[in-house]
A and B are shown apart, each in its own frame.
Chain A
Amino acid sequence: MALTEQDAARALRTALSRGGEWAELFWERSNVVTLTLDDNKLEDAITGVDQGAGIRVTSGDRGVYANGNVNDGDDLLAIAGRAAAAIADDGGVREVTAISADELPRPSVVRIDPRTVPIERKVALMKVANERARAYDPRVHQVTILYRESVQDVVVANSDGRFRKDTRTRLVFGVQVTAKQGDVLESAYKAKAGTEGFEMLTEDAVRETTDIAARLAVQNVAADPAPAGTYTVVLSSEAGGTLIHESVGHGLEADLNLKGMSVYSGRLGQKVASELITVLDDGTDPGKRGTQAMDDEGTQTHRTVLIENGILKTYLSDKKHARKLGIPESGNGRRESFRHLPICRMTTTLIKPGTSDPKDILASVKDGIFVKGMGGGQVDVVSGNFAFEITECYRIRDGKQAEPLRGATLVGQGPKLMSEIDMVGSDLGYSVGTCGKDGQGAPVSDAQPTLRIPSVVVGGKVKQVSA
């Protein structure tokens, strides 16, 4: 079904028929294709349609959310009826403001809709990657290639009269390479991902992604483990932005701050980082994995300055927490699917480039660790303690990149680390990921310039001192 303004208005009226102050409808249809090439074989081919809706009704601070699969108007009204029955607050029937559709500009351009590309073309690209990775080095032992396309059509309507649509076309091309040397196995994964059309997946882009994964797997299988202890670390812009996502981003989500659950709670206007640090969240950056025209409450996405020269400016908000905290709606109310209520989420989070030449930053460190790849991370926002995975790193000796080390984890405390960063490069590098919060995944991207951290804990192996 295609959801019309009339369908939405009827559902919202039903939702508010037994009380409640405000109602919202989120409808989506996601078309997904997933292909897996493993062990030299196109092994899995999956296609499907996920279609459903969720209806939220609020009454004061209380909210109900009913959701389910929707194939026709009856399904939608049944969900609206469930929401109405659950809220029933004897508040009388509320009017629904006349629904009127408006169009938001689409920040990402999709030149080639992946659904129009023959599946054989997708498979051919996967084979290019598979063969290239296998030819990279005799130690390449296994290769897995993943292709995933998702086209999510979304409609958000609410009892204030909003009716907005968005289409998010997202692609992931992932390469996992396993290398073997003796009994040691190492794997490396690299993905090219964005909110873009199939034009994103050029053969060059596929080759570049493949080469990184293959090089890392082979490098790591022969490398010594990273050391354990406290070190000076230079984070290259090539490593992307997991650090800013974990150490700061989550702590600036408004829902956590309303509850006083973040180390950044109650600190608007205060210095929370070095003056060298300016942090942005930008849902409008064309083509980036976190980009979309609107969030999942129909609020237009923004480029939001979160921290400016070390001073905390605002939080990442959805409608509810913007109102409660008295801050602007930043367009960060996102949900994994119609099965979930929106929560405050990042889009593309970045540290703005500074003025130092990245070469000078590396040259300034006599002995330390040079991080050129970051993987997943996690933060405890209450204490600010975070950890993120290092997927590629080297020893720094006398200001130069020296021998590679096998990956490890870097841990620290957000505000402390952010106040200690003492050099910020003039470059900027992006990375992509899927962020998990409260059981919901969200496609995100992050970016950072090259940074110097004078002292931080690296979680590798303790060197055995022979007796």
Chain B
Amino acid sequence: MSEKLANEAVVDRAIASIGGLRVDAGEVYLRDGQSTSVEVRDGALENAITRGERGIGVRVLRGGHVGFAYSSDLSPDGIEDCVTAARDIASVTEPDADVSIATRKIDSPDLKLYEAGIDGRSVPERTNVALGVERAAKDVDPRISGFRKTTYSDGTLTTIVATTAGVRGTYRETYFSVGTSAVATAGEERQIGYFGDAKRQYAALDAAAIGKRSAELAIGKLGARPFKTQTLPIVLDPYMGMSLLGALVPLFSADAVIKGKSLFAGKIGSAVASDRVTIVDDARTPGALRSAPFDGEGVATTTRTLVEKGVLRGYLSSLKTAKKMDASPTGNARRGSYAMPSRIGAANFHLASGPSTPESLVNGLARSLRITSLLNLHTIDPISGEFSLGATGDYLEKGERQYPVQGITIAGNLTTLLSSITGVANDLTFGASGLGSPTFVISELSIGGA
């Protein structure tokens, strides 16, 4: 049987191995994840999936050249090969004097990211959560005829970052998630409603609320009509709001700003949104989904106001972009996995709550369209800011729902969208993506239809 090194020992070996090469510096990132998922169908367990994965990503610096290699072979030879591969591939990159590794010591404050006890949870217990979601959905309306898929997952992750400059940090996380897509049937017509949520604590997952919302979304679309081409005020509830806000994150990337690929380049101190808009990136709220003590480069995370009453205050930075901008790194070099180098990303990125109730915002609008689902969010171009999306919605008059609509598009530009936010409600909610949004109103968007 081959030797299995513990996580800390793997990182020690990799750092020692980098030290044995003729390079300037290096960084090792280890992630060890164990997870279980269950999929249910027709009231019974269909698939139970267990996953165990461990790997390292190694970054090596040599005269300003950077090389990156990853491996899941964590035997002594595998680690050595990975470090050597990182050094070898560094030779093809072009030197950049601003590339560096973390040198400032980090602490690991307890951000309540971990809950003990996952291992003791049985498959039937997990299955029951998923079945509970489906029961709650069915209880909403007899027209709920089935589910496209209901999946419950949980897992633990251990992350270690270490650099040859002596920086080292580790933290553990847990997550619990469940999602479903209820299908509503009326005669020949069928409509689907997807909803899911994720939490750091098992008990925080509200299966009944998740099932109920999925069912209400599906039922609400029954009888949807075509809609005339026009411009109208648009109402986005927290979940629809989050999905559009997510597309804004790349505009704040210092890397995109430096390369001229962000519409926010050169706009610090200028108005980029209506004065109702305050956007915060928060990495330190205990128990929040995207909270972390440090980022993928081993830099301490922060909580920052990016847009304050419409005025741009800051960008999201890595070590390299901070140096290029002569600013402090913000701890936003995030890692998707050990196999990917850090990329600039947000933590718990959100639009701050406003003063009004959602009802009072919407009731003041003579005619408006409340969006209930969006298709093609992945095609929003963060460089141009242009978006054109498939949508379903509810047509409202003075906030009263008249009828659902489908087969429409909404289109605009993210920058004009930000400056057209005329109302923000007080119902800030965070979703499974880690993004947060209250209900908000856009004064006008183009709606394509009949």
Q: Is A182 an interface residue (CB 8 A)?
A: no
6 CB < 8 A contacts A-B: A43-B94, A46-B69, A187-B381, A263-B190, A407-B386, A457-B449
User: Interface residues, chain B, CB within 8 Å of chain A?
Assistant: 1-2, 41, 44-55, 57, 66-75, 78, 82, 85-86, 89-90, 92-94, 96, 123, 146, 148-149, 181, 183, 189-192, 221, 229-231, 258-261, 263, 339-341, 373, 375-379, 381, 383-386, 388-390, 392, 406-412, 446-450
A51-B384 contact, Cβ under 8 Å, with A61-B46, A412-B407: no
B390 touches A69 (CB 8 A): no
Residues of chain A lying within 8 A (CB to CB) of residue B258: 39
For this complex, into which size category does the number of interface residues on chain A fall? 35 or more
Residue of A nearest to B376 (CB): A387
Number of A-B contacts defined by CB within 8 Å: 259
| Cβ–Cβ contact B230 & A46, under 8 A | no
Contact across chains for B48 and A38 when beta carbons are under 8 A apart: no
Q: A119-B89, A261-B146, A261-B183 are in contact. Are A38 and B259 (CB under 8 A)?
A: yes
Q: Is the CB of A187 within 8 A of B261?
A: yes
Chain B residues with CB below 8 A from A42, complex form? 92-94
Residues A213-266 near B (CB distance < 8 A): 220, 225-226, 228-230, 256, 259-261, 263
Contact, CB under 8 Å: B146 / A67: no
Complex CA gap A176/B146 in Å reads 42
By a CB distance below 8 angstroms, the chain B residues around A388 are 376
The answer to whether A45 and B448 have CB atoms under 8 Å apart is no
B381 → chain A closest CB, angstroms = 6
* Chain A residue at minimal CB-CB distance from B392: A385
Residues of chain B lying within 8 A (CB to CB) of residue A226? 388
Q: Complex: how many Å from CA A385 to CA B54?
A: 40
Instruction: Name the residue of chain B whose CB is nearest to the CB of A383.
Output: B191
User: Would B46 and A39 count as touching, CB distance under 8 A?
Assistant: no
Q: Which of A44, A256, A375, A458 contacts B148 (CB 8 A)?
A: A256
Contact at A65–B70, with CB atoms within 8 Å? no
Closest 3 CB pairs of A and B: A459-B409, A387-B390, A228-B448
- Assuming the A-B contacts A71-B2, A256-B148, A407-B388, are A459 and B448 also in contact, with contact meaning beta carbons closer than 8 angstroms in the complex? yes
The answer to whether A259 and B52 touch across the interface, beta carbons within 8 angstroms, is no
A429 at the interface (CB under 8 A from B): no
| Complex Cα–Cα for A457 and B148 (A) | 27
A184 at the interface (CB under 8 A from B): yes
A residues less than 8 Å from B70 (CB atoms): 46-49
Q: Does B51 contact A67, Cβ atoms closer than 8 Å?
A: yes
Residues of A within 8 A of B45 (CB): 62
A378 & B183 in contact (Cβ 8 Å cutoff):
no
Whether, in the assembled complex, A82 has its beta carbon less than 8 Å from a beta carbon of chain B, the answer is: yes
Checking A65, A185, A259 against B261 with a beta-carbon cut-off of 8 angstroms, the contacting residue is A185
Chain A contacts for B448, CB-based, 8 A: 228-229, 408-409, 411, 457-460, 462
In whole angstroms, what is the CA distance A413 to B392 when docked?
13
A461 sits at the interface (CB 8 A):
yes
- Chain B residues near A178 (CB, 8 Å)? 260-261, 383
Given A35-B92, A389-B379: A142 touches B407 (CB 8 Å cut-off): no
CA distance A408 to B386 in the complex (A): 9
Please state if A387 and B94 are interface contacts (CB–CB under 8 Å): no
Nearest residue (CB) in A for B35 is A339
Cβ of A47 and Cβ of B89 under 8 Å apart? yes
Shortest CB–CB separation between residue A188 and chain B, in angstroms? 9
- Given the interface pairs A387-B409, A389-B379, A411-B408, the reply to whether A65 lies near B47 with Cβ below 8 Å is yes
Interface hits, A1-51 → B, CB 8 Å: 33, 35, 38-39, 41-51
Q: Say whether B407 contacts A44, CB under 8 Å.
A: no
Contact between A44 and B68 (Cβ–Cβ < 8 Å)? Answer: yes
Contact across chains for A63 and B47 when beta carbons are under 8 A apart: yes
**Given the complex, which residues of A lie within 8 Å of B406, measured CB to CB?**
383, 385
Known: A375-B379, A376-B378, A459-B411. A44 touches B93 (CB 8 A): yes
